[in-house]
A and B are shown apart, each in its own frame.
Chain A
Amino acid sequence: MRKFAKTHEWYDDLGGGKVRIGISKHAAHELSDVVFIELPDVGKKLADRQSLCVLESVKAVADAYSPAGTVVEVNTKLKDQAGLVNQDPEGNGWIAVVQLDNPKALDDYLTEEQYLATLSH
């Protein structure tokens, strides 16, 4: 099941403790045109809720965060097409796959419904 963070990331459980990470439609809209993403290197170790990568729009930067783990795959398409994050944030605009240190880490995150509820405040 897809989980969300209050910091506007989504996490898809791929099984075996792996999660695919991207940013929510709401975040992509707020950032407006994403022009560059500082993609992490495969193998990068992340502490809990540490920045996975920095996304740049024309005049703003934002971090995407991840639970503790190791980056095992990055969406290399984003190197040349950062705009995918705007066009399809919750699909082809995914950022990376992380092998979680604690496979149950996602339990603490929000469901889509809960996440959307945080936006209406």
Chain B
Amino acid sequence: MLKTIGLKAIDDLFSDVPSAVILKNGLNLPRGLSEPELKRFFNMIGKNNQPVSDRPCFLGAGIYYHEVPAAVKAVVTRPEFLTSYTPYQPEISQGTLQVLFDFQTYMVELTGLQVSNASLYDGATAVAEAALLGLRVKKAESFVYVSMAVNPEYRQTTQTYLNPQGHKVREIGLNGTETDLELLKTELWPNSVLIVQYPNFFGTIEDLAAISKICKEKNSYLIVAVTDAMNLALLPSPGSLGADICAGSAQSFGNILSFGGPHAGFMTVKMDDIRQMPGRIVGATTDRNGKEGLVLTFQAREQHIRRERAASNVCTTQSLMANFASAWLYFKGGRGAQQVAKDGVATAHAIAEEIKKIPGFKIESARYANEFVVRPPSPGFADFLAEWGLVAPYDLSKDYPEFKDCVLVACTELTTLEDMESFISACAEFYNDPTAKDTKRLIHQKPTQLPGWVKVRPIPNIAEHAEVELVRYYTALARKNFCIDNGFYPLGSCTMKYNPKVHEEIAFADNWANIHPAQREDEVQGALQVMFDLEHWLQEITGCYALTLQPAAGAQGELTALLMAKRYFADRGEHQRVNVIVPDSAHGTNPASATMAGWKTVSIPTDARGNMDVAALKAKLGKDTAVLMLTNPSTLGLFEEHILEVAKLVHDAGGLLYYDGANMNAIMGICRPADMGFDLVHLNLHKSFSTPHGGGGPGSGPVGCTKVLEPYLPEPRVYKEGNRYYLKSGAPSSIGRMKGNVGNFGVLLRALAYCKRNGKEGLERVGRIATLNANYVLAQLKGHYPVAFDRICKHEFVLTAEPLKKQYGISALDIAKRLIDFNYHPPTIYFPLVVPEAMMVEPTETETKQTLDEFVAAMIKIRKEMETNPDVFKNAPYDTPVSRLDEVKAVKEPKLTRS
């Protein structure tokens, strides 16, 4: 392969990397483990987790232990869904598009609003995004009001999102366990935005009709947050009660606990607000033959296209998690969902009735659904329940002084009669009432009765299906999807490497899948160790001093880093630093993140060799420079040869350097961002660390930083003392919380498995082989296709179809579509924007020489077709479930749910 490229040694591929930053002794990491050793490691530390699945679980508080049927897991984790990319190529993605379309349909039906997106990072960020949406619609400069009865993590995340743009969050206090409506009437400023939760954090079913009336009187916008979406199948829908937006978590539908993530967030709005909606939307349209098909639509809203005009931080969806929700609802239907919700509520009320009878205990929640607050006769109740052997309910002491020592008890359909008896016995024991111990006396059968005052909605219009129907439906859809397991993805900037099977086996083991993020620290030591260890690996790989694993995706990593930088400059009194500098080849998310951080974007041109123009940079640097955001290698696949000079220039001007980790795969094990002078670094675990793309999420975007910036990292953070791991928050300079829980734990777990399996030698080969593969393909294609910049590339390269378009009328899009006929996923096209008719090819290190040779042969054959049979391009691809779809129609005649 080197001979084809014309070089002698692999390391010659890195001659453009300054020798000062080349790792002389490689990474200081342990050797790789064999697959059995890897499994043994995770089995061993998995024992330090106590899953909720074999004990009575009364823990909820935002994440709920519901049934995930085996069939749901089996169909959704098919490789066609697990290992496929975001469905940008609809001809080979109808499977993913259909399940997301179903998800939209179900969420519209459950929430009573008109348009759903195809999912968001999680519940907390969905509500934060909803608040921003509300402010845009109201054109309100001022306040977002949040009820104190909204999940504390949702409130904290909203605060983090709103602060940088200068918006203020005001809290509305409680009347018992519900939002104080009298207070709301007096406090709510006209033309503002209000967030309440339904049922709220304490389980209380807020009087949405009354709240909505107050909002209407004040011409204000009502956002209804939801954590246990199962209740939407039972209670009157937020839309029917006057909500303008419904946003929250769809975790209850088939998303495993996984220590708090990844879980699907959702948002539904009214049709009038569709253009303000963040996230991806799937719509129905027709193809060239009039056949119905689905496409991603209203894409002009999305931040990577809007760039500095962006209004949201969402790039990826949580496609796979939305898919779990979709499969769950397809299987159980509206009737099944209502029954599950009813079970939880009936169980909660039956337990509460018995607890009330035990002297000293008080039920604090009014009009509650499946969660309620218990005030015990004396302190220490939560600890006692844990010792009793239960997964203890959530202790409210830390969030609400008025509920000191109180616990929040959650029930679901999985709460058994024995669990109920156990809980009541524990209460009796805590009070030390010997007569109350005979619990068999108390509850004889699993309760089914709802309290008389509960208003029940009509059964949601979602058809239920037999297991075999679910399996066949998904099997048919899977056949319509392209995925890594059935073909090569030379998809530039997306690093579609192979996803090892052993990662999935580990992640779905009970000790990892069924742990709740609010469990006591001693019950989740294994999970905390995974986070602690992964931080260590990523610090060594990037050279960073400290790191957070919290960001849900690359784009959120960018925002996290910029918010840290903003806080840093504020602490130094340098408020005049408002400019974020990006090269013109930057990912659209860079300027979008700058806007979300409340900053301005300054663009720098690319020079003739494909580097950022240093002279132009010098001219733009000054006292107003905040951060230079750089992808290195750049999106042109080229190493920034002047990186050390650039870093010095930016630092001398008082600015910070941010490393966009999109292209980390090229340099992994060869050099490190921190050694090049970067102060902030993000990584995409779903790219460089081989966690599955899931058809467009979940991702994960850890952010590393220098020692100086460590105090600004989001919280909570994980620490180790002796042999004990623990989480801690409360650093005065922290930017706060970016999302719910600790991050997308399931993704972190797979990434650690990847690191440990590869070890030092494996990780040091990643960048070398990825770069070798790219140059091998480039060397063979450059005689046939014009190259944007003809020099040794890194892990990817950019071709331009501009001359071919002029000569043959065949565009990058046409070539991309023709490749599908050869069973290849098309390269990234029309990006970077600085190259006309761009085609960006990234082969990754996991492809064999044979695969690369076959791809080259296909590309050359396609090139010859331009001369011999140019008409063949017009209607390509041919043997796909649909042909090219009418995307204009999808926007002009929106059809965003099943009819």
Contacts and interface: CB of A to CB of B under 8 A. Distances in A.
Contact of A35 (B305, B306, B309, B891): B891
Nearest to B297: A58
B606 interface: no
A36 B888 contact: no
A59 B888 contact: no
A32 B892 CA distance: 14
A25 B649 CA distance: 43
B182 to A, nearest CB: 36
Contacts of B608: none
A73 interface: no
B305 A59 contact: yes
B275 interface: yes
B892 A35 contact: yes
Contact of B888 (A35, A60, A61, A63): A35
Nearest to A82: B892
A111 interface: no
Contacts of A60: 300, 305
A13 interface: no
Contact of B306 (A33, A58, A61): A61
A42 interface: no
A75 interface: no
B235 to A, nearest CB: 35
Interface in A30-60: 33, 35-36, 38, 54, 56-60
Interface string B856-899: 00000000000000000000000000000001100110000000
B299 interface: yes
Contacts of B891: 35-36, 58
Contact of B309 (A36, A54, A57, A58): A54
Contacts of A54: 309
B193 to A, nearest CB: 20
Contacts of B888: 33, 35, 58
Given A35-B300, A35-B892, A36-B300, A58 B275 contact: no
Contacts of A61: 300, 305-306, 309
B309 A59 contact: no
Contacts of B305: 59-61
Interface in A13-35: 33, 35
Interface in A59-98: 59-61, 63
Contacts of A59: 299-300, 305, 887
Contacts of A63: 309
Interface string B288-313: 00000000000110000110010000
Interface in B301-346: 305-306, 309
B884 to A, nearest CB: 12
Contacts of B299: 58-59
Interface in B392-410: none
Which one of A54, A56, A63 has the highest number of Cβ atoms from chain B below 10 Å of its Cβ? A56
Nearest to B295: A58
Given A54-B309, A59-B305, A60-B300, A36 B887 contact: no
| Majority secondary structure, A binding face | strand
B141 to A, nearest CB: 15
Contacts of A35: 300, 888, 891-892
B672 to A, nearest CB: 36
Contacts of B300: 35-36, 56-61
Interface residues of A, number: 12
A33 B891 CA distance: 10
B306 A36 contact: no
Most chain A beta-carbon neighbours within 10 Å: one of B299, B300, B891: B300
A57 B299 CA distance: 9
B65 to A, nearest CB: 41
B324 to A, nearest CB: 29
Contacts of B309: 54, 61, 63
Interface string A92-107: 0000000000000000
A95 B792 CA distance: 47
A35 B299 CA distance: 11
A47 to B, nearest CB: 14
A54 B309 CA distance: 9
A34 to B, nearest CB: 10
A56 B297 CA distance: 12
Contact of B887 (A38, A56, A58): A58
A100 to B, nearest CB: 24
A59 to B, nearest CB: 5
A27 B299 CA distance: 20
Nearest to B296: A59
B395 to A, nearest CB: 48
Contacts of A33: 888
Interface in B237-277: 275
B471 to A, nearest CB: 36
A59 B300 CA distance: 5
A58 B889 CA distance: 10
Contacts of A57: 300
Interface string B510-532: 00000000000000000000000
Nearest to B892: A35
A57 B275 CA distance: 13
A35 B300 CA distance: 10
B378 to A, nearest CB: 60
B482 to A, nearest CB: 20
Nearest to A41: B139
Nearest to B306: A61
A77 to B, nearest CB: 15
A53 to B, nearest CB: 11
A36 B888 CA distance: 11
Contacts of A36: 275, 300, 891
A38 B136 CA distance: 13
B48 to A, nearest CB: 48
Nearest to A51: B309
A35 B254 CA distance: 37
Nearest to B830: A59
A21 to B, nearest CB: 19
A87 to B, nearest CB: 13
A35 B887 CA distance: 10
A24 to B, nearest CB: 19
Contacts of B887: 58-59
B809 to A, nearest CB: 16
B272 to A, nearest CB: 12
A58 B298 CA distance: 7
A100 B309 CA distance: 25
B349 to A, nearest CB: 49
A58 B300 CA distance: 6
Contacts of B306: 61
A54 B887 CA distance: 19
B89 to A, nearest CB: 13
A60 B833 CA distance: 11
A57 B888 CA distance: 8
Nearest to B88: A59
Nearest to A33: B888
A109 B275 CA distance: 33
Nearest to A56: B300
A38 B306 CA distance: 13
A120 to B, nearest CB: 15
A77 B306 CA distance: 24
A10 B132 CA distance: 34
A63 to B, nearest CB: 8
A33 B889 CA distance: 10
Nearest to B307: A61
Nearest to A58: B887
A20 B891 CA distance: 28
Given A35-B891, A38-B275, A60-B305, 8 more contacts: A35-B300, A58-B887, A58-B891, A59-B305, A59-B887, A60-B300, A61-B306, A63-B309
10 contacts: A33-B888, A35-B300, A35-B891, A35-B892, A56-B300, A59-B305, A59-B887, A60-B300, A61-B300, A63-B309
Q: Which 9 A-B pairs rank lowest in CB-CB distance, beginning with the nearest?
A: A56-B300, A35-B891, A33-B888, A58-B887, A61-B300, A59-B299, A61-B306, A58-B888, A61-B305
